[in-house]
Amino acid sequence: MISIELTLNRRPLHLDVAEGETLLEMLRERLSLTGTKKGCEVGECGACTVLLDGVPVDSCLYPAALADGKDILTIEGIQEGDRLSALQQAFIDQGAVQCGFCTPGMILSAHALIRKYRRPTEEQIKTGMAGNMCRCAAYPQIIKAVQKAAEQTEQTEQMKERKV
């Protein structure tokens, strides 16, 4: 076992992980954070996407031991208090959820994308989320949801700036 310390969904955590254990296994099987989905297990579908220090990673390929000292955000930690985040709500409002299997990974990739580009273009969204597959082919709705969430996020930030 390897002892690691990390921040998971804004909370410090200390645990022992097995050599060879993936971040996906640690999250789902040991910590019961099942929002991170187990899909292809070869890093192709993006269902297992989490943010590691703000960058999307395929948790099915990432060794849990390498998460030592890292900041991890999963779908369970993306909400804003007791409310859905603007991104989660936009996915619902735009019909981007469909079967829902890809949604957690899509939302986390989109979250990182909006942090990188305040108002991402359609091309930036397509490129930035190319590692996430949707079997329901809800890509037009996903693009609209990301654009709507980016717009709402920008408006919220502008309102906060005015209050300061």
DSSP string, 70-129: -EEE-GGG-SBTTB--HHHHHHHHTT--TT-SSHHHHHHHHHHHHHHSSS--HHHHHHHT
Asked if 66 and 117 sit in the same domain, the reply is no
Asked if 53 and 106 sit in the same domain, the reply is no
59 SS3 class: coil
Q: Which residues pair with 83 in a beta bridge?
A: 80
CA distance 9 to 30: 15
Is there a domain that residue 162 lies in? Answer: no
pLDDT-flagged residues of the chain (< 70): 164
CATH number of the domain that residue 150 is part of: 1.10.150.120
The helix (run of H) or strand (run of E) holding residue 57 is strand 55-58
Asked if 39 and 73 sit in the same domain, the reply is yes
Asked if 48 and 100 sit in the same domain, the reply is no
What's the pTM value of the predicted model, to 2 decimals?
0.93
Is there a domain that residue 164 lies in? Answer: no
CA distance 83 to 72: 20
Q: Which residue, of 22, 54, 77, is where some domain finishes? A: 77
Is there a domain that residue 133 lies in? Answer: yes
Token output for 159: 């309102």
Q: Which domain holds residue 125?
A: 86-157
Determine the residue type at 20: G
Is there a domain that residue 27 lies in? Answer: yes
Asked if 70 and 98 sit in the same domain, the reply is no
CATH number of the domain that residue 9 is part of: 3.10.20.30
Number of domains in the chain: 2
Is there a domain that residue 92 lies in? Answer: yes
Asked if 6 and 73 sit in the same domain, the reply is yes
Asked if 123 and 101 sit in the same domain, the reply is yes
Asked if 90 and 73 sit in the same domain, the reply is no
pLDDT in the model for residue 75: 97
Asked if 92 and 39 sit in the same domain, the reply is no
